Structure 1
Amino acid sequence: MLEIIGLSYAGQALYEALVERSPATLAELGHAASTAADLEELGLITRLPEDPPRYVAVSPGTGLDALIRARTQKLAAARHRAAQLTARFHRSVPDRDPAELVEVAIGQDAVSRWFQRLQESARRQIRVFDTPPYATPAGGNAVEFELLERGVEYRGLYDRRALEVPGTLSLITRYVAAGEQARVGDVPVKLALNDHPMAIMPLHHDRHAVESALVVHDSTLLDALSALFEMYWERAVPLQVRHGRLAEATGPADAQRDLLPLLAAGLTDAAVAAHLGWSDRTVRRHVHALMVQLDARTRFQAGYQAVLRGWLDP
Structure 2
Amino acid sequence: MLDENAMRLYSFSIGNSRWSEEDASVELNISLAEVDAAKNLLLKHHLLHAFGDDAAFFTANPPDVAVATLVETDVQRVHQLQGDIARRRGEMLALMPLYRELKVASSSSEHLEILEDGDMVTRYLSEASRDVSKEVLAVQPSPISTVERARLSAAKDIELLERGVQRKTLRRDRDRDHAPTVFLSQELAPYGAEHRTVATLPLRAMIFDRSAALISRPTFDCDFAAIVVHSPDMVASLAAVFDSVWDMATPMNGDSEPAHSVSKSGGLSAVQASILDGLAMGLTDEAIASRIGVSVRTCRRHIATIFEVLGADSRFQAGAIAVSRGLLRPALLK
Give the TM-score, by structure 2 length: 0.46
- The higher radius of gyration belongs to 2
Give the TM-score, by structure 1 length: 0.48
